Structure 1
Amino acid sequence: MTVPDLGLVEFTRSDDVAQDAPLVVLGPALGTSVTHLYALLAPRLAARFHVVGWDLPGHGVSAPANEFTMAELAEGVERAVTGRLGAGAWHAVGTSIGGAVVQEQLAAGSERVASATLVATTDWFPDPAGWAERAELVASAGTPTQVIGCAKAWFGGDFLGAHSEPATPLLHDLQGTDRFSYAAACRALGGYDLRAATRPTEVPCAVVAGTEDAMTGPDVARRLADGLGARCEIADAAAHLVPVEAPELLERVVTDLVTAAG
């Protein structure tokens, strides 16, 4: 196991916000690039904050990696952000596995996280054996095997048909993801379990879920929020990729947490 080398995406031009603007760091979901997942949310935040994002290994701008744990992935995020932007704290936003990374940082007592917006995530993804099976399938047959299932899980109702412009690039991301890195991320999720470490945090925190998310829906979100002592927000008619379907809601939540963190 090794700490992966992660690439960063800059969403804010240097002359758009003040040099002392709060830093917001966006984390992606499995199979997505941070660029396309937050294409609707990032411009809203970048008007007031310095916004960057990180990509998973073998996704987007990050180099492939064959094996890593969730804790190592969290360390890779901290190395990437501090290496580029210095040793200050930031406001973390993470979707699905990206939210799990933020929880790893909270559980480790990281001083980097000034606030946490946890989107479509949990402190334990059920069925470790299922994650191992998915890893084997993708490693042998590639990420296109996941497109149909992800299209159903990622978007609520007829969103994909009605909003192809923001949704279709995410399915292209999935097909273009390095299969061995995707498989490694699946194995990392299979070994991820922070239930014993989930406790109230002093960091301003919110958990957000979509009503149509079959994996990390409202019941899961409320349980996680209760464990963390966090606020809980539910996005109507959204499924797993809330940043695409409810960017306005997330803009409000992130802005509120930045304000609360002072």
Structure 2
Amino acid sequence: MTVPELAVVDFGGPADAPLILLGPSLGTSAATLWGGVADRLVEHARLVAWDLPGHGRSARPSDPFGIADLAAAVLALADRLGAETFHYAGDSVGGAVGIQLVLDTPRRISSATLMCTGAVIGTPDGWRQRAATVRAQGIWPMVDAAPGRWFAPGFTERHPGVAAMLLDGLSHTDPEAYAKTCDALADFDVVRRLPEITVPVLAIAGRDDVPTPPESLQRIASGVSDGELVVLDGVGHLAPAEAPDRVAALIAENAGLPASPIPDTVDDVYRAGMAVRREVLGDAHVDRAVAATTDLTADFQRMITEYAWGGIWTRPGLDCRSRSMITLTALIARGHHEEFAMHLRAARRNGLTNDEIKELIMQTAIYCGVPDANSAFRIAADVLSDYDAQGGAR
């Protein structure tokens, strides 16, 4: 069994700094799950997160895969990054991959921070039933159940933007890839092998985690030769997104690194803006824009990245899908046709369907004017047909 090459989100960091690889939870996008933690560590480490097959930026898998296959793919990623050794942190299935890594290649792993996970998670029958449900009904039953499974009580009210972005990422996860990951978890059970692990392990549990309660992490910490357990109050199953400050500090301590405060420098805002700009517009578009930058336009390009992408698109109050709808409406109203075409593609990447875009343009016909809506439909017909013809690249 094999898996495709894993797509990554490179959060940056000093080129000569230690590498930390970040593993995702089932149904999440690495950029959304790990962005807050990466912001707090990037001054002292190079942070690279990977997406599960069919999640985030990764392509849909053609073959079945297991946790050991994912671990091998992570090692291949480290090789591509030129890292002989690296620190690893993973949540849920990403944590299970971390356990497999320290079992298979302990000499490559400098430290392991495993959160909201287990040496066995759930039951084989439970995972196979979930896989069957997704194959039969699509991803939406998982989206409906996710808030109660993922978040501690009150999190969605306190942080509606973060919760919405995570749920939006789940809604655009490939159903078959999700099901294949369930199949992999059904076959994962390394409880008896925990005593083989000699790499220092920090196990982090969420007090309110339903799928992998603190007892699951206690089993890991007690089973390995050098383990420690930390339980975070007010945290559910997605600790990196729910408590980025505390998680970043714990990863840094386990890796022997200082943790950075919340980014507030211009360079930090620029890096955060560039990350979300690439997530929304796609690497190809951003690479073309960067390549076309001249001495005349360099300051303007940096301003756009800092103020538009780093200052607005990274704010937690709205998810990227909602921001796309607002942006399309504003561009139609102002008659900015070139930008409108660009943001049509971004809107599709952020999860809007052609029918939803149609309804948005219909709405603008009333509030912005029929001629503006007519121009928008003409542009949308060309852009969306081209986007769909190319397979709606992630």
Match of 1:77 in 2: 74
Q: In the alignment, which of 47, 53, 56 is matched to residue 51 of structure 1?
A: 47
C-alpha contact (below 8 Å) 1:41/1:250 kept by paired residues: yes
**Equivalent AA in structure 1 for residue 84 of structure 2:** G
How many residues were matched structurally? Answer: 255
**1:160 and 2:172 are equivalent in the alignment:** no
Matches within 5 A, 1:32-181: 32-65=28-61, 66-83=63-80, 85-181=81-177
- Confirm or deny that 1:5 pairs with 2:5: yes
Deviation at residue 165 of structure 1 after TM alignment: 1.6
Tell me, yes or no, if structure 1 residue 255 matches structure 2 residue 232: no
Q: Distance in 1 between matches of 2:78 and 2:9?
A: 10
Cα distance in structure 2, aligned partners of 1:139 and 1:89: 38
Larger RCO (CA within 8 A; separation ≥ 6): 1
Mapped pair 1:190 → 2:211: no
Aligned to 2:301: none
Contact 1:8/1:81 (<8 A) preserved: no
Q: Which amino acid aligns with 1:7?
A: A
Seq. identity, %: 37
Q: In terms of mean alpha carbon deviation, does 170-179 or 63-72 score higher?
A: 63-72
Partners in 2 of 1:160 and 1:24 — Cα distance? 28
Which of 216, 221, 235 is residue 217 of structure 2 equivalent to? 221
Checking the alignment, whether the CA contact within 8 Å between 2:106 and 2:199 is kept in structure 1 is no
Mapped contact 1:210–1:236 kept (Cα < 8 A): yes
The residue number in structure 2 matching 1:237 is 234
Unaligned runs of 5+ in 1: none
Q: Name the one with the larger helix percent.
A: 2
Aligned-pair CA distance for 1:215: 2.1
Q: CA deviation at 1:136?
A: 1.1
Deviations 1:98-117 (A, max 9, x none): 00001001111343211100
Contact 1:207 1:225 in 2 (8 A): yes
TM-aligned CA deviation for residue 44 of structure 1: 0.4
Q: CA RMSD in A?
A: 1.4
CA deviation map 1:150-202 (0-9, x unaligned): 11111101101220121211101111001111000000000000011111633
Provide the rounded CA distance (Å) in 2 between the counterparts of 1:176 and 1:153: 18
Letter in 2 for 1:72: D
- Per the alignment, in what secondary structure is the counterpart of residue 126 of structure 2? helix
Whole-angstrom CA distance in 2 between matches of 1:258 and 1:162: 30
Cα deviation, 1:79-134, whole Å, max 9, x if unaligned, reads 12312x11411110000000000100111134321110001000001210110111
Where does structure 1 differ by over 6 angstroms across 4 or more consecutive aligned residues?
A: none
Q: State whether residues 200 and 230 of structure 1, in contact with CA within 8 Å, keep that contact through their aligned partners in structure 2.
A: no
Match of 2:318 in 1: none
Contact 2:19/2:83 (8 A) holds in 1: no
Equivalent position SS for 2:208: coil
User: What is the CA–CA distance in structure 1 between the aligned matches of 2:178 and 2:113, rounded to whole Å?
Assistant: 24
Larger Rg over CA atoms: 2
SS class of match (1:63): coil
Superposition TM-score, scaled by structure 2 size: 0.63
2:35 alignment partner, SS class: coil
- Following superposition, the deviation at residue 250 of structure 1 comes to 1.2
Q: Is the 8 A contact 1:120 1:240 kept in 2?
A: yes
1:202 aligns with 2:198: yes
Verify the 8 A CA contact 1:39 1:166 in the aligned structure 2.
no
| Deviation, structure 1 residue 54 | 0.4
